[in-house]
Amino acid sequence: MNKTPPSWPLATTSWLWPKTLPENLRRIGAWKLPIRQVALLFYQSAASLAYTPADFAAPDHLESHVHLPVDLPWDDGPETVWDIISRLMELPGRLSPWGGVLHPPGDPARLAGVAALWRDRAPGWRLMVENIPGQDLRAHWPVIQDLDLPVCLDVGHLMAFGQHWLLDEPDLPGRVELVHCYAPGIVRERHEHLPLSELSPSQARTILEVLGLIGANTPILFEVFSESDLRDCLENFTKLTRDWRRPE
């Protein structure tokens, strides 16, 4: 396998084998693959809060960020949501996450409440808002601008759910601090997390367009969930970007 171009830090999910989180981290840390970062998948609040710092042993060369829960209790107010988020961000201990990815609530005002706490508390990590099915961030964009929030750009969601307006938003490029990269399939309004060998030609062009918008140090997370799919992504990302040149 050719080495992937080093411009972007490459990341994998913390679930590649049907094993415990510590075992997944151990295997990832032992690789000789060009993976510098792991996304800790804290999809469910209660199960994630049950982890202890001992579950996050990993080599010093491995960095991390967190995917925050999709079941946050937005109805209970921003302080309750913030308490869960901040506790989860502290859990990994030495594997200290540089940022957390947040699925926005339907009401932008609720996002504003939590984002204001993040700004006020200044915890030292980044709070990124992700474009998701049914929430393409258009309604949330004023909050993102007002509170100067970074964005996690999920390219699979963008392609599957017709969210291409984001690529024409002049304020987007400076806000993208993480990219979720995978093939979403070709059925509109549905998506899967497939390896990059499954990209259509137009989808491959969209990924190259995104790469032209982001910074050279923006992490690329291959958001797939098996070792074989990750290796496929690494190989095909190399092919896709072999002759890529940053636009002038």
The CATH number for 160's domain is: 3.20.20.150
- State the pLDDT at residue 61: 85
Give the domain range for residue 186.
Answer: 10-241
180: in domain: yes
- State the pLDDT at residue 3: 45
- State the pLDDT at residue 2: 41
- State the pLDDT at residue 239: 94
Q: Which two tokens stand for residue 98?
A: 């540089």
Q: Give dist(CA 191, CA 196) in Å, integer.
A: 13
The radius of gyration of the chain's CA atoms, rounded to the nearest angstrom, is 17
4: in domain: no
Angle at 48 between CA 47 and CA 51, to 5 degrees: 100
- State the pLDDT at residue 6: 44
- State the pLDDT at residue 248: 61
247: in domain: no
Write the single-letter amino acid at 243.
D
| Domains: count for the chain | 1
Q: Give dist(CA 167, CA 14) in Å, integer.
A: 28
Place of tokens 């925050």: 68
pLDDT, mean of each 10-residue run, the chain (248 residues):
62 97 94 93 97 89 95 98 98 94 98 98 97 97 98 98 96 97 91 97 96 94 98 96 76
5: in domain: no
Place of tokens 């093939």: 183
93: in domain: yes
Q: Give dist(CA 41, CA 12) in Å, integer.
A: 10
